[in-house]
Amino acid sequence: MPTLRSTLTRRLTAALEATPARIPVLLGGCGAGRTTLLQQLRERLGRQASQYVDVEHAATTPERFLKALASSAPVPLADGVMGPRAAFDAAMAFFTRARTAGQEPITFLLDEFLELQIGRAHV
C-alpha cells in the first residue's frame, strides 16, 4: 500500500515532468515534512538538474537571496557587488536562463517560498 509521502512524491515528480511544464506548490504546516520531501526530490532529480534553496534563511534582501543562489548553484552565477534592484534582476535572469549540461532547465526547489517579500525588499 503506497504511503501518503510516496504518493505526494509521485505527484510532484509528475507535475515537474509534465508537458507543458507545471509548477507544483507544496504547502503544509511546520513539521509536516516539506523540507525533507524537497531535499529527497533534489536527490531524485540530481544535484546537477535541481537546486534546493531555503528562502526563509536567504531572502532578507535581494542581495542575500542572490548570494544564496550562487553558493549552491549547479551552474555558475555572475557574482559581484550590486544594489537590491540589480540583485533581484540577476536572480530572475538566473531562474530564467539556468540550464543543465544537457541544456535542460534547472528545477528550483524553493523551501519556505512564502517568505519572499519582494515589495518589502525595496526593489
Encode pLDDT of 96-122 as tens digits: 888 888 888 888 888 887 766 554 444
Reduce the DSSP state of residue 61 to 3 states and report it. Answer: coil
Encode pLDDT of 50-83 as tens digits: 888 888 877 678 888 888 787 777 766 666 667 8
Angle between helices 4-17 and 34-45 (to 10 degrees): 50
Instruction: Single out the residue of 97, 102, 41 nearest to residue 73, CA to CA.
Output: 97
- Torsion sign, CA atoms 119, 92, 95, 64: negative
Phi/psi of residue 91, nearest 5 degrees: -65, -45
How far apart are alpha carbons 68 and 64 in whole angstroms? 6
Per-residue pLDDT at 41:
87
Q: Dig out the grid coordinates for 14 from the structure.
A: 509528475
Percent of all residues in the chain with a pLDDT value above 90, rounded to a whole number: 0
